[in-house]
Amino acid sequence: MFNKILIANRGEIACRVATTARRLGIRTVAVYSEADTGARHVAFCDEAMAIGGAAAADSYLKADRIIAAAQAAGAQAIHPGYGFLSENAAFADACAAAGLVFIGPPASAIRAMGSKSAAKALMEKAGVPLVPGYHGENQDAVFLQQQADKIAYPVLLKASAGGGGKGMRIVERSEDFAAALASCQREAKNSFGDERVLVEKYLVRPRHIEIQVFADTHGHCASLFERDCSVQRRHQKVLEEAPAPGMTAERRKAMGDAAVAAARAVGYVGAGTVEFIAQQDGSFYFMEMNTRLQVEHPVTEMITGTDLVEWQLRVAAGERLPLLQQDLKIQGHAIEARVYAENPEKGFLPSTGRLQHLRMPVAAEFTREDVVRVDAGVREGDAITPYYDPMIAKLIVWGDDRAQALARMAQALARFEVVGLSTNVAFLGRLITSKPFSAAELDTGLIERHHDELFPMAMPSPLPVLALACAALILSESQASADPWSQTSGWRMNGSLTRRLSFMDATGERLLGLAYERTGVRLNTDRGTALLSDFSRTGHQLSVSVDGQALTASVVSSGDSFQIFHGGQHWSLDWSNPIAHAGEQEVGSGRLTAPMPGKIVALLVDAGAQVDKGTPLLIMEAMKMEHTINAPSQGTVTELLYAVGDQVTEGAQLLSFEHKEN
Ligand code: ADP
Ligand code: ADP
Ligand code: MG
């Protein structure tokens, strides 16, 4: 076994790999960019080496620097994690040339599966079923459209070299094909430096079911069963579970055999995932093979009682698979939720910022220690930056059966508290408890189809939440002044005066009254009244007695804003402080600004262009997603302020626009 490895990644996966390495007595070397100097993975590893600038291209993708760091540190092997260099065959070759073990498959297997098109050709030969489509070399636009017409619409265009959902375009009609092809090619070129595409029949209501495979250098190859990753947004996984609901033993064997055949066809070694798209009748087709450890590998670990990173290390060191097919069994049910810094209400747009407050559920809060696991790459105080994936953590739970796993996931999500940026925690909670997901009515369109149920109208803050906000305000005022009852804000000892307060919550303005009484403070609201007493606060934990009932919750205050975690929900209340808001102005609206820091990838109009409302004007890329900026109204683009390739900061004005007066 190795005695020192370098981890060529960051975030949760770097911490995850380091955890196993430590357990096996292997020293770990972290690498980090300028943006990650104080990152959790750096603190977590035994040693750390700086490798360059914040942008991934200047650090985590710099193969030569990473290899030099491994050599300087005296590491014997490199674990690439996922993303970054994990599926880069040239990097695997360079490791070998430098005398380092690449903890992953042989470069030849990465190459064989690296192009979705070439992989499909190979799988066809190996007898693995494929989605109807065209995956050949001919990239002529007219020819590709003929192929699409032949398989009939809707069709899906994919970047051959693609990943991460990038470049994919659904085409509904032949008339739309040319435009979709151009935009798919542009995104493919921009993201992967390769504009080749393939065409596939777009399946209706499919499920994404993938098989975890593992092979060693002694000729063994096993399937560690399936994961169902059907719940997706933008073709990216949101929830992953194992086993797949409704899976029969025969189908599991058929899919496992197909996946093992796929792995064997390319001489696979190590951890890999064969992704299939399945129809509701159970028929399944090969989609692609991911030649690395997958984000969602923990659900497989939970149902098989394995540590797949340990398996990777053992296999890379030349050992046999710890368990062979006949020794592998499924136990219970596991589910993973990806907790992202993003705003589900705004089309899942990634968000950035500092994690001012972060509380994650821990095993100790549950009855058993092995039923909840949090894989996190960040701590309270860390920032989610625009440079990398906006994942905060993965939450993984296990249960005897699906119902128990779902119930535990709902509980764990209710204990997950984040202040400082938008997250999908509340959305995940609604998703897990939604009717279609509970009933396992799974397909990749679940989120879109149940949009109204998953995005309900905001609720007015209930009385306990208003009580907590008032208690937090009273406590902060009493800290600010030795004599809280004699402030400008209207307190009087005689008890006859009511202080009027206004808070804004998600539903609008909430008017409250507070009156001082002998035994406490009387809170009057449109939702009823309560007597508040016994206020106290330790850090973010606030306690108050409401009509004699003790209530404790996390309340994070900053200035006049209160973030309250109560009843498994996050409530945000802003106090309309009559003093603080004097003199503030509305920021001018209608400006065409960058929604987040990023890079301009395409200008779709020239200066002087007359456009209609909704006309796409430019495309920027940020956090591995493309964002199209559209005309807000009919008008004229008077000036383009940036060129293709320019970096822009959040809020930067991108172009000047003159609205046409009617
Ligand atoms: P990526 O490299 O981005 O992971 P995949 O080929 O694995 O790309 O596809 C990602 C997702 O897109 C799938 O999980 C599925 O939801 C959807 N998808 C892919 N191919 C098809 C298809 N032919 N029909 C319908 N949906 C598809
Ligand atoms: P999965 O199907 O497991 O989600 P993906 O291919 O979408 O796999 O990507 C795996 C992970 O790696 C994702 O979290 C993705 O955001 C990240 N990732 C993919 N490509 C890159 C890249 N070039 N730089 C940084 N992270 C990446
Ligand atoms: Mg995929």
Residues 6+ apart with CB under 8 A from 128: 258, 261, 262, 265, 286
Residue 291 beta carbon below 6 angstroms from any ligand 1 atom: no
Q: Is 9 in the pocket of ligand 2 (CB under 6 A)?
A: no
Phi, psi of 594 (to 5 degrees): -70, 125
Of 3-17, 309-323, 643-657, give the lowest mean pLDDT range. Answer: 643-657
pLDDT given at position 598: 83
Give 484's pLDDT tier (boundaries 50, 70, 90).
very low
Tell me what pLDDT residue 164 has. 81
Residue scoring higher pLDDT (56 or 662)? 56
- Pocket test of ligand 1: the residue of 120, 277, 280 to mutate, having most ligand atoms within 8 Å of its CB, is 277
Write the CA distances from 500 to 56, 109, 480, 575, integer angstroms.
Answer: 52, 69, 20, 11
Cβ atoms within 10 Å of 405's Cβ, excluding its own: 25
- Mean pLDDT across 313-341: 98
CB 459 within 8 A of CB 520: no
Alpha-carbon dihedral angle through residues 614, 423, 244, 12, given to the nearest 10 degrees: 120
**pLDDT attached to residue 577:** 80
Report CA 642 to chain centroid distance, whole Å.
29
387-438 pLDDT, tens digit each = 999 999 999 999 999 999 999 999 999 999 999 999 999 999 999 999 999 9
For the four alpha carbons of 498, 499, 500 and 506, in that order, the dihedral sign comes to negative
Q: What is the pLDDT of residue 67?
A: 98
Q: Are 470 and 530 in contact (CB under 8 A)?
A: no
Output the pLDDT for position 653. 85
Residue 645 DSSP code: T
CA 547/CA 103 separation, integer angstroms: 60
Task: Give nearest CA residue, ligand 2 atom 20.
Answer: 83
Give 339 Cα–ligand 2 centroid separation in angstroms.
15
Full set of structural domains in the chain with CATH: 4-103 (3.40.50.20), 106-120+204-235+243-327 (3.30.470.20), 132-201 (3.30.1490.20), 332-456 (3.30.470.20), 463-575 (3.30.700.40), 591-659 (2.40.50.100)
Under 8 Å CB-to-CB from 552, ≥6 apart: which residues? 541, 542, 543
Q: Is 354 among the catalytic positions?
A: no
Mutate to test the pocket of ligand 2, among 60, 82, 113 (most ligand atoms within 8 A of CB): 82
The ligand minimizing its distance to the Cα of 162 is: 1
And the tokens for 66?
């990473």
Mean pLDDT on 539-555:
96
Residue 98 contacts by C-beta under 8 Å, 6 or more apart in sequence?
67, 70, 71
Q: Which string of DSSP letters, residue by residue, matches 573-609?
A: EEE--TTTTTT--PPP-S--B-SSSEEEEEE-S-TT-
Residue whose CA is at the smallest distance from ligand 2 atom 19 = 83
Contact 208, 277 (CB under 8 A): yes
Please tell me what DSSP assigns to residue 653. B
Quick one: angle between helices 89-97 and 107-114, nearest 10? 170
Measure 166 CA to ligand 2 centroid, in angstroms: 10
pLDDT recorded at residue 487: 42
Nearest atom of ligand 1 to the alpha carbon of 131: 23
pLDDT above 90 covers a percentage of the chain that reads 79
Half-sphere exposure at residue 376, Cβ-oriented, CA atoms within 13 angstroms: 22
3-state secondary structure 337-368: EEEECEEHHHCCEECCEECCEEECCCHHHCCC
Q: Distance between alpha carbon 156 and the CA centroid of its chain, in Å? A: 23
pTM listed for this prediction: 0.86
At 464, the amino acid letter reads P
| Atom number, ligand 1, closest to the C-alpha of residue 287 | 6
Element (H, E) at 508: strand 508-517
pLDDT for res 518: 84
294 Cβ inside 6 Å of ligand 2: yes
Please, which residues bridge with residue 593 across strands? 653
Torsion of Cα atoms, 586 then 592 then 597 then 599, to 10°: -170
Distance between CA 105 and CA 190 in Å, rounded?
A: 27
Q: What is the pLDDT of residues 276-287, one digit of tens each?
A: 999 999 999 999
Q: Is the pLDDT at 586 greater than 60, yes or no?
A: no
Neighbours of 223 (CB within 10 A): 21
* pLDDT at residue 477 in the model: 81
